[in-house]
């Protein structure tokens, strides 16, 4: 493999310079962190599974017209993506109460929400990703009103599509986090889905048993973390080769 220049290293992924201008190679690590880096660990094989799961979900979304940064998977741990300017906002969509929403409002985990709820968090390790409002986002210039409209519309489409896709394989999409980037093509800017979609940033519960098949197994020390990610891949029909 050719040696590539490292552009950015995050908690679960590394971005390298891509083979052509405007492309990057996204490498999936086995490292796992939770609670703003206070808990660290390794989930053996996670990177391989997330690379494959994210490839699958981004490809399906692209087929229904959701623009994404994903181009193609290169190997077990790497995928080629378009270089975008990441918008420093995490968009969380929730269908069922869990995690920080349950803690913040005292709503028992598993309570269905009256409608899907969108939340925004400002991406900042130093500040611990604080929750922010649309007012903060536009006033501080992290995204413009049109960017935000696009992000919300895309997030709701992703939620509708993925909720159905997961339900079809016996999984409830409880909540998930998305990131977006700006992509320039011929002097035109589009907002596209970036980062990854995997059990690292979705909550997925078995429809019948409510068993957790996502990163909460790591956060809550439930054990069998890799097996859970493997089960999601198995149900999607995409277990990695080898």
Q: Enumerate binding residues for ligand C5P (CB under 6 A).
A: 90, 92, 98-101, 129, 175-177, 201-203, 215
Q: Any idea how long the chain is?
A: 242
> What is the smallest separation between the CB atom of 185 and ligand C5P, expressed in angstroms?
28
Cβ nearer to ligand C5P, comparing 82 with 215: 215
**86, two tokens:** 């990441």
Closest-approach residue to ligand C5P (CB): 99
To which H or E segment does residue 175 belong? strand 171-185
State the minimum distance, in angstroms, from the CB of residue 119 to ligand C5P: 7
To ligand C5P, the closest distance from the beta carbon of 90 in angstroms equals 6
Smallest distance, ligand C5P to C-beta of residue 44, A: 20
Nearer to ligand C5P, 129 or 211 (CB): 129
Helix (H, G, I), strand (E, B) or coil at 55: helix
**98 or 233: CB nearest ligand C5P:** 98
98 touches 203 (CB < 8 A): yes
Q: Which residue, 7 or 117, is less far from ligand C5P as judged by CB?
A: 117
C-beta of 120 vs 176, nearer to ligand C5P: 176
Beta bridge partners of 86: 181
Query: Could you report how far apart the first and last alpha carbons of the chain are, in Å?
Result: 19
Exposure b/e, 62-73, CB count within 10 A at least 16 = b: eeeebbbbbbeb
C-alpha 68/C-alpha 141 separation (Å) is 23
C-beta of 75: minimal distance to ligand C5P in Å? 24
């Amino acid at each position: 493999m050719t040696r590539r220049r490292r552009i950015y290293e995050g908690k679960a992924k590394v971005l390298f310079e891509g083979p052509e201008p405007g492309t990057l190679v996204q490498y999936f690590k086995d490292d796992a962190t939770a609670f703003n880096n206070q808990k660290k660990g390794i989930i053996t094989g996670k990177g391989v599974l997330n690379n494959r799961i994210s490839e699958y979900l981004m490809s399906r979304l692209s087929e229904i017209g959701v623009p994404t940064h994903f181009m193609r998977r290169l190997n077990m741990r790497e995928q080629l993506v378009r270089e975008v300017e990441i918008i420093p906002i995490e968009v969380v969509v929730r269908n069922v109460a869990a995690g920080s929403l349950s803690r913040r409002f005292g709503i028992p985990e598993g309570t269905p929400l009256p409608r899907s709820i969108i939340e925004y968090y400002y991406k900042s390790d130093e500040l611990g990703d604080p929750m922010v409002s649309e007012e903060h986002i536009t006033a501080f210039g992290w995204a413009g009103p049109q960017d935000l409209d696009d992000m919300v519309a895309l997030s709701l489409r992703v939620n509708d599509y993925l909720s159905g896709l997961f339900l079809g394989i016996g999984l409830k999409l409880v909540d998930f986090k998305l990131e977006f980037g700006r992509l320039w093509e011929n002097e035109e800017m589009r907002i596209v889905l970036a980062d990854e979609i995997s059990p690292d940033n979705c909550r997925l519960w078995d429809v019948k048993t409510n068993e957790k098949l996502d990163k909460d197994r790591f956060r809550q020390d439930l054990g069998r973390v890799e097996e859970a990610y493997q089960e999601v891949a198995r149900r999607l029909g995409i277990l990695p080769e080898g």
